[in-house]
């Protein structure tokens, strides 16, 4: 039931994020700030007990983790300003398994089976296919003159570079978290709070952009919230719903890590991204060719291979057959 709830809130989160980005493409900073502020305030009250509860993991480790987390969040949201479409944004981020495996080999000296390396090849091929097709769409659909066309493509290339950097930084953060949890134990709620509270001063560097979009949000058309009858600018309503759904989604994932195996968590997150991608395409009618579908299939199948869900499915079906035999007899 909780897994279905996570997918539902993720789809809602994507809808409100794209509604915001379509109206104001440069609103990534105010969205990120709002998400961080909401989660930090909630954690300060309910997890940190108004600052009276000491962290189980030394605070200096959280500062390192937060620097990575803040950078990844800002860069991922800012990539939407660089001619990156939402479907490509989601597909690219789903390649986190590649980055995690690559850095695991380099930093932790891990070795993997042939099936794991095959999954890397499939996910890489899927991302390359979708990236290449999106590059052609930027060139053909931009409706710009010959002078502006190359400029749009260069902005798109910068967006791809930003997504690549965020992907690698996110993988490095995952390895850092893994070593911390092995040493100090798992404290998901505490990590959720400090990952969002400590970066808040960094948003002072983005204050002019945040204030600019707050003014633009105030100038949007008025909207009456159903049931409660409150009237407010519609962009603030979209932002509020995005923040709430993001909170429920990320909190659900953090709780899932303490209740399920890593295989189950990885599979749920992968399916969540895939369903969100399909929902974004259908709801907003984003351009999506057959090549995009092929690339998405490669990413999805490669991710499932990485989680070894096929190996788990066989014993599960065998147990189901054994349970059915007495009933049939």
What's the pLDDT score for residue 174? 76
Looking at the predicted structure, is the pLDDT value of residue 10 above 60? no
Per-residue model confidence as pLDDT tens digits over 171-206: 788 788 778 877 888 788 898 899 899 989 989 988
What's the pLDDT score for residue 263? 47
Give the three-class secondary structure for 232.
strand
What's the pLDDT score for residue 208? 93
Angle at which helices 59-78 and 188-197 cross, to 10°: 60
What's the pLDDT score for residue 250? 85
Instruction: Please measure the distance between the N-terminal and C-terminal CA atoms of the chain and give it in whole angstroms.
Output: 32
Looking at the predicted structure, is the pLDDT value of residue 122 above 60? yes
Dihedral of the alpha carbons of 42, 47, 51, 56, in degrees to the nearest 10 = -140
Which segments within the chain are labelled E, that is strand?
222-224, 231-233
Residues 6+ apart with CB under 8 A from 313: none
How many whole angstroms separate alpha carbon 97 and alpha carbon 183? 23
pTM, rounded to two decimals: 0.68
pLDDT averaged over every residue in the chain: 77
Looking at the predicted structure, is the pLDDT value of residue 146 above 60? no
Q: Are 76 and 163 in contact (CB under 8 A)?
A: yes
Per-residue model confidence as pLDDT tens digits over 285-309: 767 778 878 888 888 888 778 767 6
Task: Kindly indicate the confidence band of residue 321, based on its pLDDT and cuts at 50, 70 and 90.
Answer: low
What's the pLDDT score for residue 264? 55
Per-residue model confidence as pLDDT tens digits over 96-121: 767 777 787 888 787 878 887 888 78
């Amino acid at each position: 039931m909780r897994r279905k709830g996570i997918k539902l809130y993720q789809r809602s989160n994507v809808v409100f994020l794209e509604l915001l980005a379509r109206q104001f493409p440069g609103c990534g900073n105010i969205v990120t700030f709002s998400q961080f502020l909401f989660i930090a305030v909630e954690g300060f009250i309910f997890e940190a007990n108004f600052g009276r509860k000491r962290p189980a993991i030394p605070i200096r480790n959280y500062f390192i983790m937060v620097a990575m987390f803040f950078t990844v969040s800002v860069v991922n949201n800012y990539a939407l300003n660089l001619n990156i479409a939402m479907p490509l944004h989601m597909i690219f981020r789903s390649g986190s398994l590649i980055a995690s495996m690559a850095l695991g080999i380099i930093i932790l000296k891990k070795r993997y089976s042939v099936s794991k390396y095959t999954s890397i090849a499939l996910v890489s091929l899927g991302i390359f296919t979708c990236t290449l097709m999106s590059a052609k769409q930027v060139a053909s659909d931009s409706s710009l003159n010959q002078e502006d066309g190359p400029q749009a493509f260069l902005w798109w290339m910068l967006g791809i570079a930003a997504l690549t950097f965020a992907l690698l930084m996110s993988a490095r953060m995952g390895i850092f978290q893994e070593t911390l949890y092995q040493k100090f134990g798992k404290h998901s709620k505490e990590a959720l709070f400090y990952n969002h509270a400590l970066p808040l001063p960094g948003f002072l560097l983005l204050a002019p952009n945040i204030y600019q979009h707050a003014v633009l949000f105030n100038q949007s058309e008025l909207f009456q919230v159903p049931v409660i009858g409150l009237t407010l600018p519609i962009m603030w309503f979209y932002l509020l719903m995005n923040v709430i759904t993001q909170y429920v989604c990320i909190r659900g994932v953090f709780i899932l890590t303490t209740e399920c195996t890593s295989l189950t968590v990885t599979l749920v997150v992968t399916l969540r991204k895939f369903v969100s991608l399909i929902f974004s395409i259908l709801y907003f009618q984003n351009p999506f060719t057959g090549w995009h579908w092929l690339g998405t299939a490669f990413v999805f199948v490669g991710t499932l291979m990485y989680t070894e869900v096929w190996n788990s499915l066989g014993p599960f079906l065998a147990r189901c057959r054994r349970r059915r035999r007495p009933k049939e007899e």
